[in-house]
Structures are given as structure tokens and as C-alpha cells.
């Protein structure tokens, strides 16, 4: 392939969809301007330009070329970009296939490179043949990674010669079964933000309507109120369920050579390939609902931006695994995971130290409760619920906090923020720094906060365990200093 190629015209649709997603508020703005013809016309021109002409121009100027050494992407209208991505610099390849692209054997390709000082470390091709990804894959396998990127891996000239034949068989493979997926989708906490949006919309309903309604049905007031609330919750919850279910439909993960590949989704099939050596830590996550159903999520924290647009910023490798099987299922994929549940009692918040966490949780809600309580005293019941939630959140955090050394070079840390238990497995090589904090009052009581910093995407993930006993925290600190 020598001539640069354009992406498929269907890619244009995707460009436009993104433009609409980015500029839909312009449309709302337009609706408010209908009284001023001049601004109205100007607004329409702007809108048409933003969602129609600009994407067309962008599409027409975008071209790509695959050579044995690199992927080349030319783009830009006024400023021409010529991007040259050697295969060895590719970190992750993400493939997204909308259902309407499948019959045409097309997909969207996002190539992420290692340069992390760049604002935009990825290159996207909106609609390209599916064969392109496998071609890139073949070339990537053929190119040995340079020593600068993997200091631990010896360069093997033989592997370079033998690899390009075909993709090797997966060494580990897992596909979610429908029952677990259903459980996973039912317990999605995505309904909470949705609920807030619906509540905000409820507030926007003109007072006249609700008042008239309440007058008409005053004898049914309680029933209507409770029924309405339940309905809103149900709507939000069903929406969150559908969203999660379609997103994680037929979730599939495989380990090939040193690449993890996950595929998921029904409406849009999303395939991510990520190198194992970029893994900084493993996170096992479980919200309180999933605790009741005994399912857990396994994510990996990557030192790259690949999964940044994935929900909660991490590459999910196992969305839902029954708790009992977790370590059997997950260990083959990530070798740093232990093969059984570790003992996390050596770092813990027990006895009366848990009341500090309860106190802090209550302090967080104190200000809003006082302010709202002053202006809207008849909302006391909602405030009471809020205080109760904060109180139990404190207890929850205290109960979940834990950690300890799994092996001499692997630290496990567990936290309980926002009703979610998170267990991190962090090898000592990827801990960037460790920090201890202690106030004067904590010194008297022999307490300390411990923060472990790990790279996550292009940012920092601080894992903080609060109100540990000073000697426990100090032991982790000393272990870190002596092991590195």
C-alpha cells in the first residue's frame, strides 16, 4: 500500500455524530434567538458549519497509509498534520464497531502512542476496514519492542522472524455468562446520577401544575408522592440497567502473548488491546449492591490513556466474577494477582478508630445539612436520610479498610470510599512514592494516614488509607524504602 487512503464515507456519519454531540447546546441557544432574525441566521450558519461542513472537510482531508515500518496519518485543514507512528511506539489499539458498521466490515480505530507529554496521544480513524487492525497487529508482532521501552525484555532476533505468521492462540480466555451479566447490570450504580438529573427536572416543572395536581388529589397525596418517587427511581434504574447490559454484552477477554484483549458491547462493539507490561496495578472493585450478590469487578490500572474513556477510567478485564471464583478466574490473566484471597488484617481500622471515619463522614455532610435545614426545614426527612447515609458510610469505610503484604514485593490495599470496596494489588516496582501524614492530635493517639502513589493513565492514583495505627503505616513505609 503506497498511496494514502481515505477512510470510508460512512466515517463521515461518525464525524457528524461527534460534532452534534459536541455542539448540541448551540441548537438550544438558537431556539432562544428566534426573535432576532440576524442572530438567528448567523446561528444557523454557525451550526450548519459546525455539524455539516467542518466534518466533511475534516473527513476529506484525513488519510492514512500502512507501511511495514509505521502507520502514517495525514490530517488537518489549515494546519496539516503528518503523523508517523512506528509500530514499536504503539501502546494500545482500540477498535470500536457500531452495529451499522458491521455489515460493511468497517470499524473505528484509535491508536494510542507512548508519548505522554502530548495532549493528544492518540490517533483516530473513523471508519476503516476491519482487516486494517489485524494488519497493524501483524506488523506490531513483527517489530521487536526497543530496549528503551522494555528494559527487562531481552531482544530476540528469532521472535521477530517467526511472529508475523498469525496471531498466536490465546493462553487464557474468559467470556461472561448471561446470568452474571444480568446481576452486574442490575447492580449498576449508574442510576444515581440519572436519579439526580430526573429530580432536577422535577424541580423545573411549573409550580402551578403540581399545585393544581396536589389540590385535585390531596386525599391521595402520600400515595402519589411515594408512587411518583418509586416511578422515578424505577425509570432511572431501568435506564442504567439497559446501558450497562448493552455496554458489557458478550464481554470477552483473552490473553495472547503479552497482550490483553477485551471486547464488549452490543450496539457498539469495543475491542481494546493492551500490553501486559504497562499494567501498574490491579483493582478489584465491588459496590455495596454487588457485595450482596457476591460479584466483583477486576480492573487493571494502565500507564497509558487507553481506557480513559472507558467507564471509571480503567481497563475492565473482568466486569463481573462470582466472588468465590475470583482468584481462580483472574489469576491467569494478570500474573501479579495471588491465587487466593489474601489476609488484609495487618493494616486495618478497628476498635474506636472507626469513629474518626464516621466523624469525618458526618463533617462532610454537616454544612449542606445545616444550610438546607435552615432554609427548607420541612425537608428534615431527606436530611435525616443524608446524615444516616454518611454515618453508615463512615462505618463502611472503617470495615473495608485493610491491607498487607501478599508477597515480599506485592502490597494489597483495600479502601471503602463511596459505598464501594476497592482492593488494589500493587507491585513494589510500580509504587512511585509513599507518604505518611500525622497531625499533632493523631500523634498522641498513635495514628497515621498512609498514601501510596501509583501511576494511572497519565495521572496519579493516590491510594489513601486513613487512621491506621502509626506502627502499621510506618512498617509499610519502611518496607517500601528497603525493598526498592
Residues of this chain that bind other proteins (CB under 8 A): 151-152, 303, 429, 431-440, 443, 453-456, 459-461, 477-478, 480-482, 484
Q: E strand or H helix at 72, and its extent? A: strand 70-75
- For the CB of residue 436, give the shortest distance to other proteins in the complex, in Å: 5
Place of cell 492514512: 64
Task: Give the Å distances, CA to CA, from 431 to 307, 455, 483.
Answer: 20, 8, 11
> 344 or 436, CB closer to other proteins?
436
Q: Which of 51, 3, 58, 10 is nearest to 27 (CA)?
A: 51
- For the CB of residue 316, give the shortest distance to other proteins in the complex, in Å: 21
Q: Are 424 and 283 in contact (CB under 8 A)?
A: yes
> How far apart (Å, rounded) are the C-alpha atoms in residues 117 and 122?
12
- For the CB of residue 458, give the shortest distance to other proteins in the complex, in Å: 8
> 43 or 457, CB closer to other proteins?
457
- For the CB of residue 435, give the shortest distance to other proteins in the complex, in Å: 4
- For the CB of residue 461, give the shortest distance to other proteins in the complex, in Å: 7
> 352 or 482, CB closer to other proteins?
482
Q: Are 347 and 476 in contact (CB under 8 A)?
A: yes
At 206, give phi and psi (nearest 5°).
-55, 140
> How far apart (Å, rounded) are the C-alpha atoms in residues 224 and 431?
54
**Please, which residues have CB within 8 angstroms of residue 240's CB and are 6 or more apart in sequence?**
188, 189, 190, 191, 194
Q: Are 394 and 352 in contact (CB under 8 A)?
A: no
- For the CB of residue 439, give the shortest distance to other proteins in the complex, in Å: 5
> How far apart (Å, rounded) are the C-alpha atoms in residues 377 and 67?
70
- For the CB of residue 417, give the shortest distance to other proteins in the complex, in Å: 19
Classify each residue of 213-235 as buried b or exposed e, where b means 16 or more C-beta atoms within 10 Å of its C-beta.
Answer: eeeeeeeeeeeeeeeeeeebeee
**CA dihedral over 284, 286, 292, 295, signed as positive or negative:** negative
How deeply is 3 buried, as exposed, middle or buried, from its count of CB atoms within 10 A (0-12, 13-18, 19+)?
A: exposed
> 39 or 477, CB closer to other proteins?
477
- For the CB of residue 431, give the shortest distance to other proteins in the complex, in Å: 8
> 70 or 476, CB closer to other proteins?
476
Q: Are 26 and 86 in contact (CB under 8 A)?
A: no
Paired sense of beta strands 259-264 and 268-275, if any: antiparallel
Q: E strand or H helix at 321, and its extent? A: strand 315-322
Task: Give the Å distances, CA to CA, from 394 to 349, 399, 447, 466.
Answer: 11, 9, 17, 11
Q: What angle do CA 254, 258, 259 make, to 5 degrees?
A: 45
Place of cell 484525513: 62
Which DSSP letter does residue 340 get? S
> 156 or 328, CB closer to other proteins?
156
> 105 or 443, CB closer to other proteins?
443
Q: Are 272 and 306 in contact (CB under 8 A)?
A: yes
- For the CB of residue 453, give the shortest distance to other proteins in the complex, in Å: 5
> 136 or 468, CB closer to other proteins?
468
> 174 or 467, CB closer to other proteins?
467
- For the CB of residue 421, give the shortest distance to other proteins in the complex, in Å: 24
> 356 or 391, CB closer to other proteins?
356
> 126 or 411, CB closer to other proteins?
411
- For the CB of residue 440, give the shortest distance to other proteins in the complex, in Å: 5
Amino acid at each position: 500500500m503506497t498511496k494514502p487512503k481515505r477512510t470510508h464515507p460512512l466515517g463521515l456519519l461518525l464525524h457528524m455524530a461527534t460534532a452534534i454531540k459536541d455542539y448540541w447546546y448551540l441548537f438550544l441557544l438558537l431556539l432562544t434567538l428566534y426573535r432576532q432574525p440576524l442572530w438567528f441566521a448567523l446561528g444557523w450558519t454557525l451550526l450548519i458549519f459546525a455539524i455539516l461542513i467542518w466534518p466533511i472537510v475534516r473527513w476529506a482531508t484525513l488519510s492514512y497509509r500502512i507501511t511495514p515500518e509505521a502507520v502514517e496519518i495525514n490530517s488537518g485543514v489549515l494546519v496539516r498534520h503528518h503523523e508517523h507512528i512506528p509500530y514499536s511506539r504503539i501502546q494500545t489499539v482500540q477498535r470500536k464497531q457500531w452495529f451499522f458498521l458491521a455489515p460493511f466490515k468497517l470499524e473505528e480505530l484509535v491508536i494510542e502512542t507512548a508519548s505522554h507529554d502530548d495532549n493528544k496521544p492518540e490517533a483516530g480513524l473513523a471508519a476503516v476496514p476491519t482487516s486494517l487492525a489485524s494488519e497493524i497487529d501483524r506488523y506490531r508482532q513483527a517489530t521487536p519492542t526497543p530496549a528503551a521501552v522494555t528494559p527487562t525484555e531481552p531482544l530476540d532476533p528469532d521472535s521477530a522472524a517467526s511472529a508475523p505468521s498469525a496471531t498466536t492462540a490465546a493462553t487464557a480466555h474468559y467470556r461472561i455468562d448471561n446470568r452474571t451479566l444480568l446481576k452486574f447490570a442490575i447492580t449498576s450504580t449508574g442510576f444515581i446520577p440519572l436519579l439526580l438529573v430526573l429530580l432536577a427536572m422535577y424541580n423545573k416543572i411549573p409550580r402551578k401544575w403540581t399545585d393544581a395536581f396536589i389540590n385535585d388529589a390531596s386525599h391521595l397525596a402520600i400515595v402519589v408522592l411515594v408512587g411518583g418517587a418509586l416511578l422515578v427511581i424505577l425509570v432511572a434504574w431501568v435506564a442504567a440497567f439497559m446501558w450497562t447490559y448493552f455496554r458489557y454484552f458478550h464481554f470477552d477477554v483473552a490473553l495472547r502473548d503479552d497482550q490483553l484483549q477485551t471486547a464488549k458491547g452490543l450496539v457498539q462493539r469495543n475491542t481494546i488491546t493492551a500490553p501486559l507490561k504497562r499494567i501498574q496495578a490491579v483493582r478489584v472493585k465491588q459496590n455495596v449492591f454487588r457485595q450482596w450478590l457476591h460479584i466483583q469487578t477486576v480492573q487493571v490500572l494502565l500507564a497509558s490513556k487507553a481506557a480513559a474513556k472507558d467507564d471509571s477510567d480503567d481497563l475492565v478485564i473482568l466486569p463481573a466474577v462470582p466472588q468465590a471464583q475470583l482468584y481462580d478466574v483472574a489469576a491467569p490473566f494478570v500474573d501479579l494477582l495471588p491465587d487466593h484471597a489474601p489476609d488484609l488484617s495487618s493494616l486495618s481500622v478497628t476498635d474506636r478508630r472507626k469513629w474518626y471515619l464516621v466523624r469525618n463522614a458526618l463533617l462532610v455532610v454537616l454544612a449542606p445539612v445545616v444550610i438546607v435545614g435552615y432554609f427548607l426545614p420541612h425537608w428534615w426527612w431527606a436530611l435525616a436520610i443524608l446524615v444516616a447515609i454518611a454515618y453508615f458510610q463512615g462505618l463502611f469505610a472503617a470495615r473495608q479498610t485493610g491491607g498487607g503484604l501478599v508477597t515480599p514485593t506485592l502490597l494489597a490495599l483495600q479502601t471503602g470510599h463511596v459505598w464501594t470496596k476497592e482492593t488494589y494489588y500493587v507491585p513494589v516496582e510500580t509504587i512511585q512514592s509513599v507518604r505518611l501524614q500525622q497531625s499533632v492530635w493523631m500523634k498522641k493517639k498513635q495514628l497515621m494516614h498512609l498514601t501510596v502513589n501509583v501511576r494511572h493513565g497519565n495521572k496519579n492514583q493516590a491510594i489513601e488509607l486513613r487512621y491506621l495505627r502509626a506502627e502499621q503505616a510506618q512498617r509499610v513505609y519502611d518496607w517500601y524504602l528497603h525493598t526498592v
